[in-house]
Amino acid sequence: MAKSNSNFPQGAILLIDGYNIFARNYLVNPSLSSNGEPIGGFTGFLRSLGVVSEMFTASRIIIAWEGGKSARRRALHPGYKAGRKPLRLNRSELYEKDLDSPENFGWQVVQTVASLEMTPIEQLYADDCEADDVIGWLCRHRLRNETRPIVICSSDQDMLQLLRDNVYMYSHTGAQLYTKESVLEKYGVSSENFATARAFIGDSSDRIDGVKGVGFKTLAKEFPKLLEEEFIGVEDILTECNELVAGSKKPKKILEAIQNNPDIPRLNWKLMYLDMSNLSAEHVKQLDYRYDNPVTSRNKIKFQMGIIKLGVKDPQHINVDTFWRRISSIQTQ
């Protein structure tokens, strides 16, 4: 049984990277409902929610769902996330309509979103908007003055740029809690400058190339300002690089590589930095409305009846009493 961990911040607001955690459960849980439908993503995701809620005695949970790939990123970089095999329907209508989808993954997401509307857990998404942009918008905009601990639940490295004194990231991979201090210790750059460093390094998982030969350690060695809490941007690094090359008779290969490829980090910054730059006015309008008007309740009986209708067995597939107890610390907004 999961219990709150005294080493973890308590009374936290949890920001759940919905697709990230759902997909992991979907891929590893082969459970079938009594109707013969694969249901492991649905039940595994609910269990994961209950576990992290209890671990952090969550005062609030917000799930950020995918609404499709970012059109702005695709316009900037057509190869962005190319080659990935999609495990979901790439439309945010998926979360609003009980579509007769041939994609079981999509069907399970539909049922998950509908079931969670019977709980105090909030859900956010916008058309053609990625979950990490939603979480970035929450951290840098709607929750920027929040004093409670904020815990981002994801294994996506991009989220590490959002950490600050009261913002953490919990990764189910290794059950690891990241803080500003642990980011500096592990990667050799501060969380404030994590996105800047990644702009030079790239991200192979998203098909984003970096400057050849550049890694966290080599970059931090040449540009120690990246270790500091004060923000340093891509253009600052490029300017300093040019100065170092000009002042050396035999400049290092890493400096020459950066100097010869300035457009790589400039483009990557636009792809990787999580703020409002990749959100359109319509995105913000949708997110603001759904944030201010969450579809939530505390209807345990209706929740239980809904999962029984899906052929989900209680307690074999999921223990409803345990799940409900684990989310009991969530406050009414």
Alpha-carbon dihedral sign for residues 130, 324, 7, 23: negative
Q: Which helix (H) or strand (E) holds 106?
A: helix 104-116
Mean pLDDT of 243-253: 94
Position 100 scores a pLDDT of 38
pLDDT at 4 over 70: no
Q: Where in the chain is the domain with CATH 3.40.50.1010?
A: 13-188+277-326
What does the pLDDT look like over 128-143, one tens digit per residue?
899 999 999 999 999 9
More confident call, 159 vs 29 = 159
Mean pLDDT of 14-27: 94
Distances (CA, A) of 329 to 10, 57, 311: 10, 6, 28
Position 330 scores a pLDDT of 98
What does the pLDDT look like over 272-282, one tens digit per residue?
999 888 889 99
What does the pLDDT look like over 184-228, one tens digit per residue?
999 999 999 999 999 999 998 888 999 999 999 999 999 999 999
Lowest mean pLDDT among 20-34, 106-120, 236-250, 304-318: 20-34
Lowest mean pLDDT among 67-71, 219-223, 321-325, 329-333: 67-71
Q: Which fold has domain 13-188+277-326?
A: Rossmann fold (3.40.50)
What does the pLDDT look like over 43-90, one tens digit per residue?
999 999 999 999 999 999 999 999 876 556 656 656 655 555 544 434
Position 265 scores a pLDDT of 97
> Which residues are bridge partners to 19 per DSSP?
none
Average pLDDT, the chain: 90
What does the pLDDT look like over 80-128, one tens digit per residue?
555 555 444 344 555 554 433 447 888 999 999 999 999 999 999 998 8
Contact 138, 120 (CB under 8 A): no
Distances (CA, A) of 31 to 25, 37, 89, 308, 317: 10, 8, 21, 15, 8
Position 1 scores a pLDDT of 44
Select from 1.10.10.410, 1.10.150.20, 3.40.50.150, 3.40.50.300 the CATH code of 191-272: 1.10.150.20
pLDDT at 270 over 80: yes
Rounded Cα–Cα distance for residues 243 and 252 (Å): 13
CA 258 to chain centre: 29
Position 14 scores a pLDDT of 98
Mean pLDDT of 237-255: 95
Mean pLDDT of 276-301: 94
Q: Quick one: which of 311, 243, 23 has its CA closest to 155?
A: 23
Position 240 scores a pLDDT of 97
Position 6 scores a pLDDT of 64
Position 102 scores a pLDDT of 47
Position 81 scores a pLDDT of 57
Position 91 scores a pLDDT of 40
Share of residues in the chain with pLDDT > 70 (%): 87
Rounded Cα–Cα distance for residues 150 and 168 (Å): 6
pLDDT at 172 over 70: yes
Confidence of residue 155 (pLDDT cuts 50, 70, 90): very high
Mean pLDDT of 316-325: 97
Q: Where in the chain is the domain with CATH 1.10.150.20?
A: 191-272
pTM over 0.95: no
Q: What are the strands, taking DSSP E only, across the chain? A: 13-17, 60-64, 122-124, 150-153, 167-171, 176-178
Q: What are the strands, taking DSSP E only, across 209-332? A: none
Position 276 scores a pLDDT of 83
